[in-house]
Structure 1
Amino acid sequence: MKLIIAIVQDEDSHKLMNKLTEEGFSFTKLATTGSFLRSGNTTLLIGTEEDKVDTVIDIIEKVCKTRDQYITSVPPTGGTTGMFYSQPVEVTIGGATIFVVDVDKFKKV
């Protein structure tokens, strides 16, 4: 058994959840926030058998594409030494961060 932790941008989350459901995968959705842009993310916890991990990752890769976006300011990262930009800055957003973790024990009660 494997646990796939997929962190995706909110913009991609609904399409990804629909596709995972269509393909018969169950998941738990957590609302999370990214550290750099302080934007909304969705973290999905997906439990699956080892032989289906590649299928889940393929679905995530097809749905969650990276894209470029211009931002006009970046929230400070802490304290009074935070960084602000006065000119628009191009950043890459979207895609997914995926972790695959071994599950020693799984029990549904």
Structure 2
Amino acid sequence: MIVAVVRDEYAGPLTDALTRKGLGATKLSSTGGFLKAGNTTFLIGVRDDQLEEALDAIRGACPGAQVGQGSLKGGKTAPQSSATVFILGVERMLKV
């Protein structure tokens, strides 16, 4: 599962990039806490073999995207970027 928090101006290009690759996503409106700016949060369910393809779409549509994996430590903050991406392991995903 990919959770991508994207600046609003990149939401359209990312939607287009994911659609071209045949990857579906759920989009949620969100607001950043620090800058209080509008964002779009994408929930993208992918198989392991689709992960890099989805990340390529994010990197291509959102210049400077920050991709993180694992836990955040030491209170570090990322510089402002077009997207912040979290990769989460999911034991099971169902489409019903």
- The two structures share one fold, judged by TM-score above 0.5: yes
Structure 1, unaligned stretches of length 5 or more? 67-91
| Residue identity in the other structure for 2:9 | E
Q: What SS is found at the alignment partner of 1:58?
A: helix
Q: Deviations over 1:57-102 (max 9, x none)?
A: 1111111124xxxxxxxxxxxxxxxxxxxxxxxxx64421111111
Report the equivalent of 1:103.
90
**What TM-score does the superposition give when structure 2 sets the normalisation length?**
0.79
- Residues paired across the two proteins, number: 82
Structure 2, unaligned stretches of length 5 or more? 65-78
Return the alpha-carbon distance in structure 2 between the equivalents of residues 94 and 48 of structure 1.
23
Structure of higher CA gyration radius: 1
Report the equivalent of 1:60.
58
| Residue identity in the other structure for 2:32 | G
| Residue identity in the other structure for 1:40 | G
| Residue identity in the other structure for 2:61 | V
Choose from 7, 11, 22 the match for 2:5: 7
Return the alpha-carbon distance in structure 2 between the equivalents of residues 13 and 93 of structure 1.
16
Q: Deviations over 1:9-31 (max 9, x none)?
A: 00000111011011100000010
Q: What SS is found at the alignment partner of 1:105?
A: coil
Q: What SS is found at the alignment partner of 1:97?
A: strand
Larger proportion of strand = 1
**What TM-score does the superposition give when structure 1 sets the normalisation length?**
0.70
What CA RMSD, in Å, does the superposition of the two structures yield over aligned residues?
1.3
